[in-house]
Chain A
């Protein structure tokens, strides 16, 4: 039987981070993963991450995956792929299926980082081909380059539902609507706003009644539900779609720990059955640790820190790190993690319906139900400023842990302060040069550059643009509002695609000046697009 200082199960963000941390302390580490490729779900995450610099904010998920793999290679982590851990027994023994054989492996410490699986809901026709998990859509389009469908209905308005809807549009699918049985959008407002301004309608307090079709999906019927989640007759709406995507949450995949006899608890706030953990991912089984979604559903950024914590804890457990060094390292990681666990979407706020921001500004109600901030509401936020000349307009209206906009501005126009969840403010007196770094760096795509009056009755609005085809300079079309409604004629005056923008192009459009503070998306005329 092969023996390792540490065996990690799962090569996703938390598992790889754990392995790197432990290997860096001199431990002999192997990571098993059942997939063809390592990285877990990171390589399907093509959007820019939130957080601060140390959380790799404004870096796209798949690039973080590449960095982790390189680091794993450098630190001597052995990653064993197509290796399915099928059992975890007493005395730290793992049974692994590799190819057509069964191997037994011993880990003096073990870190379970098996992640999560998608939840599902049932409705008439939910077994029809064409009804897929949101993860399946991501896998098909972002890993295999195959369109999941032509026209999609998304069920679920959490971050997964919102992000995948946006990604579907990026690869050329049409998103017919986003529906959610809950009365409020569950994910970040900025993610919702990104798709609302492209014209995607939101149906809150709505869920799927049936999927239509005989051999595969040809349509879907949704209907409104009351506060007891019962359908309200007469509220049915039909959409012609070929694909229905389900994004209704995740459950920890904690079966290995349960099998091994770890103390488990059913915690709805953590997404289901999770191991009862002490400090730094220590389970009730000595020497067995856990990190990432398996211990409670969160997201990749916090999973990576939890992985580091478990890795350091495993190192200390076997004496590869003295108590002092471990304490110091864990303190550092705890601080970093608590920074991410702040704001209105923090785990402790799960299930709460907040009404004002930390600054005391009323939260946008239209954002929570329709996916965009209304023209009246937006004026109240500190990033929404009127100036002479080009200046940033920041439509960031919820307290989320993210601050790249503050870091990237070369002129210090934008300030968030020490509290990472504070709403960004546009500093008075500072001079914007229109470089656009803030626009491209905002993971929520909530920053625009606006020159409200060019002196000839027009205004210029610069928006982040991540779609193909990229309109050329001079292209004419329609400017859309935050709600995706056509506002006015617009023409493209400039397209900027610098390397520093990392594929977020900056599209500057000219619009009549009365629309300067309302025009937030551009749609080229059909003829011009050809």
Chain B
């Protein structure tokens, strides 16, 4: 095996080990400790604060999707365009892992805010 692929394999193993930490729900991440910047808004559309997101992690929401469903972060008009990365970073820090290991929120249609009447208005075939 070449050195490069050896290195890749080692990296993959390390990633898997770390990824299991993401899912290891038996792990104790400690109590929620209030911080002075907890009342800063993170999700601008749904007005969700940093403290609420940190608390949610301690309530058992360990993925971006769970926090999203729990608090509506990234579920507003802009669909997480601004806060997606910030929320991910806050969850990761609370879990003590690298943000790169967290799966980002699901991407789905529509990619931009859209009124329902437009969404339902299929262009007729000529």
Find out whether the CB atom of A268 lies under 8 angstroms from the CB atom of B100. Answer: yes
With beta carbons under 8 angstroms apart, the residue of B44, B85, B101, B122 that contacts A101 is: B122
A residues 107-141 near B (Cβ < 8 Å) are 117, 119-120, 122-124, 126-127
Find out whether the CB atom of A122 lies under 8 angstroms from the CB atom of B111. Answer: no
* A247 CB, nearest partner CB in chain B, Å: 15
Q: Is B29 an interface residue (CB 8 A)?
A: no
B residues 8-44 near A (Cβ < 8 Å) are 37, 40-42, 44
Please judge, given known A-B contacts A1-B125, A102-B119, whether A127 and B44 are in contact too, CB under 8 Å: yes
* B113 CB, nearest partner CB in chain A, Å: 10
* B91 CB, nearest partner CB in chain A, Å: 14
Q: Is A514 an interface residue (CB 8 A)?
A: no
Find out whether the CB atom of B107 lies under 8 angstroms from the CB atom of A126. Answer: no
* A15 CB, nearest partner CB in chain B, Å: 16
Find out whether the CB atom of A124 lies under 8 angstroms from the CB atom of B37. Answer: yes
Which residues from chain B contact A120 at a C-beta distance below 8 Å? Answer: 82-83, 85-86
Which residues from chain B contact A256 at a C-beta distance below 8 Å? Answer: 107, 111
A residues 210-267 near B (Cβ < 8 Å) are 251, 255-256, 258-259, 266-267
Q: Is A494 an interface residue (CB 8 A)?
A: no
Nearest A-chain residue to B82, judged by Cβ: A120
Nearest B-chain residue to A95, judged by Cβ: B109
Which residues from chain B contact A87 at a C-beta distance below 8 Å? Answer: 108-111
Which residues from chain A contact B42 at a C-beta distance below 8 Å? Answer: 122
Find out whether the CB atom of B122 lies under 8 angstroms from the CB atom of A102. Answer: yes
B residues 80-104 near A (Cβ < 8 Å) are 81-83, 85-86, 99-101, 104
Which residues from chain B contact A266 at a C-beta distance below 8 Å? Answer: 99-101, 104
* A36 CB, nearest partner CB in chain B, Å: 14
Whole-angstrom distance between the alpha carbons of A87 and B114 in the complex? 12
Whole-angstrom distance between the alpha carbons of A127 and B48 in the complex? 12
Which residues from chain A contact B41 at a C-beta distance below 8 Å? Answer: 122, 126-127
Whole-angstrom distance between the alpha carbons of A127 and B39 in the complex? 12
Which residues from chain A contact B120 at a C-beta distance below 8 Å? Answer: 102
Find out whether the CB atom of A255 lies under 8 angstroms from the CB atom of B40. Answer: no
Q: How many residues of B contact A (CB 8 A)?
A: 30
Whole-angstrom distance between the alpha carbons of A120 and B90 in the complex? 13
Find out whether the CB atom of B40 lies under 8 angstroms from the CB atom of A122. Answer: yes
Per-residue CB contact flags for chain A residues 26-52 toward chain B (1 = under 8 Å, else 0) read 000000001000000000000000000
Find out whether the CB atom of A101 lies under 8 angstroms from the CB atom of B40. Answer: no
Whole-angstrom distance between the alpha carbons of A117 and B37 in the complex? 25
Whole-angstrom distance between the alpha carbons of A517 and B79 in the complex? 54
Q: Is A324 an interface residue (CB 8 A)?
A: no
Which residues from chain B contact A268 at a C-beta distance below 8 Å? Answer: 100
Nearest A-chain residue to B110, judged by Cβ: A86
Whole-angstrom distance between the alpha carbons of A256 and B114 in the complex? 16
Find out whether the CB atom of A124 lies under 8 angstroms from the CB atom of B40. Answer: yes
Nearest A-chain residue to B109, judged by Cβ: A87
Which residues from chain B contact A255 at a C-beta distance below 8 Å? Answer: 107, 111
Find out whether the CB atom of B40 lies under 8 angstroms from the CB atom of A85. Answer: no
* A274 CB, nearest partner CB in chain B, Å: 11
5 closest residue pairs by CB, A with B? A87-B109, A86-B110, A255-B107, A266-B100, A259-B107
The contact sample of 27 A-B pairs, CB cut-off 8 A, is A34-B112, A87-B109, A87-B110, A95-B109, A95-B110, A97-B110, A97-B112, A97-B114, A98-B123, A100-B117, A100-B121, A101-B121, A101-B122, A102-B118, A102-B119, A122-B37, A122-B86, A127-B41, A255-B107, A258-B107, A259-B108, A259-B109, A266-B99, A266-B100, A266-B101, A268-B100, A273-B104
Chain A residues packing against B (C-beta within 8 Å): 1, 34, 84-87, 95, 97-98, 100-104, 117, 119-120, 122-124, 126-127, 251, 255-256, 258-259, 266-268, 272-273
16 additional contacts (CB under 8 A) given A102-B122, A119-B85, A126-B41? A1-B125, A84-B114, A87-B109, A87-B110, A87-B111, A100-B117, A101-B118, A101-B121, A102-B119, A102-B120, A102-B121, A124-B37, A255-B107, A259-B107, A266-B101, A267-B100
Chain B residues packing against A (C-beta within 8 Å): 37, 40-42, 44, 50, 81-83, 85-86, 99-101, 104, 107-112, 114, 117-123, 125
